[in-house]
Structure 1
């Protein structure tokens, strides 16, 4: 299949690599050309613009920080739709608002281009292993076509409803992940401050009902003070704001998500927005009057939302 892939960040680069390895002809584009060159060495074709990608592909996948970037790549002066043929398919694996996904789908439908919003979960580890969970919104035929492509990057592909539904499920995913990280951070802080054998405690917690992927993957990073970004605080803040807006629109209360969003904002205000979201423990330590220890991250400063290649959780 002739595929296009735009957005070669922490998640996008390994995803595109899996598509190349699966035997597809893949044209890739990214603002940082080094990522393009790395995939060219594995058999991909480097695109010179989004329009070039649209010209060469029947299916275009985008993996970008937020809806403004998706809009620009698709509908800008050199956007994908300037060259993409009617009957083609766009799959957006970014995390954007449900309303933005619906609007994008409508604009593409006016050009007889199918659309599936297909945000992913599993982090950089899942992207590298090809074991992502993909939540797909769209009509049955478009989702079937998308599934044929995304099977190369996913362990779980689920059709969750019409266009926009994928983003609603992803918002719920980000609420759960952030809440779990916050509780793991609180538990780790308690264990560290009370003289318990922390590693032994985490081992037994991981064997009971408290076990979770977040506990397994993020607690060791907290203990090692290793906050090199797999998924940046800034991007999780953006996702939580999407979740809060969706809850507002649905007229439901999400008080825990509100509190956690404020904790994440505190991290950003302290200059930690560029760190991995496991750095949430630093916000809790500050609240507890603890000295915040150093970090092994090479990106200690906050970044503007949308200012970095996409890193989805």
Structure 2
């Protein structure tokens, strides 16, 4: 796959939809599938072909991108009734992009390989804007054969591609390590801004200082700017980092590692979800720690 061809994308929400827009803009053909018809319709207006189920998304596609939420959805998309795996041509690359447990990625990859397909463990990071721009981080673990087969597609998706290994599951491990740090940084940023507000400091000016000083983090700046503007429209739901921190802490424990901050950050996201903030943007941690509610 050296140049534009037809690609099936199952799950065209925030990230999957942005990926679809990226590929369409580069001249690729896209079969778009999602449970939410409006998301598919928006892409159809840009030239995508709507697919009613994963099997139809795979029809005529030289590759498949799976951008759903969890392992159960991934399995249903690939191997459920009208699943995509059976409809793909032998040798087609399958990019597994959800953030799920490494053992789940490895299991799905093994089944895909047994069926003559080329699985790539390929979680994404950076948000929808960077996905549309082609600058998101793409962490890829796969066989050399799968890597070669998917080169054109991977290069089209992002200029920030990291081949982290040849063992499917290592992409997921890398993503969970990254997301655990992102969650720790975000929880810390929300705590610091809540403290600034309690002290009577101007929050915008305080964030100006932080962004140019040792407390700066990309996710802290990005989310706290939105929070200060009262913008909680979900780009990345609280529930996503709730899921990811749970997975990361479980992965750490399986490896015999117990860090002091990961479980605390996971607890903050669990608390936010229990407070009814789960479907808001994760900038809503400032509401939780600042004692505010929508």
Q: TM-score, normalised by structure 2?
A: 0.93
Match of 2:120 in 1: 116
Indicate which of 202, 212, 219 corresponds to 2:217. Answer: 212
Query: Partners of 2:46 and 2:233 in 1: how far apart?
Result: 26
Match of 2:96 in 1: 92
Query: Partners of 1:85 and 1:153 in 2: how far apart?
Result: 21
Match of 1:25 in 2: 29
Match of 1:37 in 2: 41
Matched, 1:6 2:10: yes
Query: Partners of 1:176 and 1:146 in 2: how far apart?
Result: 29
Match of 1:75 in 2: 79
Matched, 1:148 2:147: no
Shift in Å at residue 294 of structure 1?
Answer: 4.1
Shift in Å at residue 229 of structure 1?
Answer: 1.1
Shift in Å at residue 282 of structure 1?
Answer: 2.8
Match of 1:247 in 2: 252
Aligned residue runs from structure 1 range 252-271, under 5 A? 252-271=257-276
Matched, 1:129 2:115: no
Match of 1:187 in 2: 192
- 8 A contact 2:18–2:129 mirrored in 1: no
- 8 A contact 1:225–1:293 mirrored in 2: no
Secondary structure at the residue paired with 1:263? helix
Shift in Å at residue 101 of structure 1?
Answer: 0.5
Matched, 1:228 2:233: yes
Shift in Å at residue 226 of structure 1?
Answer: 2.2
Query: Partners of 1:35 and 1:150 in 2: how far apart?
Result: 23
Aligned alpha-carbon RMSD (Å): 1.5
Q: TM-score, normalised by structure 1?
A: 0.88
Query: Partners of 2:18 and 2:254 in 1: how far apart?
Result: 35
- 8 A contact 1:185–1:222 mirrored in 2: no
Distance 1:233 1:47, change over 3 A: same
Distance 1:265 1:258, change over 3 A: same
Question: Deviation string for 1:127-170 (max 9, x for gaps)?
Answer: 23332100001112312333421333323101101211110011
Higher mean C-alpha deviation, range 264-273 or range 111-120: 264-273
Question: Deviation string for 1:15-55 (max 9, x for gaps)?
Answer: 11111111112111111122222212222111122111222
Query: Partners of 1:47 and 1:283 in 2: how far apart?
Result: 39
Distance 1:223 1:138, change over 3 A: same
Query: Partners of 1:233 and 1:199 in 2: how far apart?
Result: 23
Secondary structure at the residue paired with 2:277? coil
Query: Partners of 2:229 and 2:44 in 1: how far apart?
Result: 35
* Runs of 5+ consecutive residues of structure 1 not aligned to the other structure: 286-291, 296-313
Match of 1:64 in 2: 68
Query: Partners of 2:225 and 2:157 in 1: how far apart?
Result: 26
Higher mean C-alpha deviation, range 14-23 or range 144-153: 144-153
Question: Deviation string for 1:230-251 (max 9, x for gaps)?
Answer: 1111111111111011101111
Secondary structure at the residue paired with 2:276? coil
Secondary structure at the residue paired with 1:35? helix
- 8 A contact 2:14–2:128 mirrored in 1: yes
Query: Partners of 1:144 and 1:251 in 2: how far apart?
Result: 35
